[in-house]
Amino acid sequence: MLYSSSNSISFGETCADAGHAAHVDMQSAHTLADLGEELKTAGSLIHVVEARSSVRDRLRNEALDAKLGDINRFTAVADAVEGFQT
């Protein structure tokens, strides 16, 4: 699920909740990379939070940590959204 710090078409920061994903396949990783590139062009970053090790490993192996804002296990969705509001 994606959460954004902006209610308009222009996204500020975006949070992808990966807490319930046990794995990510190649197609999903590439789709997330494409979304990350589009949002980066618009001036936003995607922060992947609560990601399990298998998800983090797949995303990092596909070099998504460079295309996305952050891939983090320890940041909770609530903490990320709170950070957007400050």
Higher model confidence: residue 86 or residue 54?
54
What's the pTM value of the predicted model, to 2 decimals?
Answer: 0.71
CA 47 from chain center: how many Å? 4
Contacts of 39 (CB under 8 A, 6+ apart): 11, 14, 45, 46
pLDDT of residue 79: 81
pLDDT of residue 82: 78
**Residue-range domains of the chain with CATH:** 2-85 (3.30.750.24)
Residue pair 19/1 in contact (Cβ under 8 Å)? The answer is no
Q: Binning pLDDT at 50, 70 and 90, where does residue 9 land? A: very low
The identity of residue 49, as a single letter, is: V
In the chain, % of residues over pLDDT 70 = 83
In the chain, % of residues over pLDDT 90 = 14
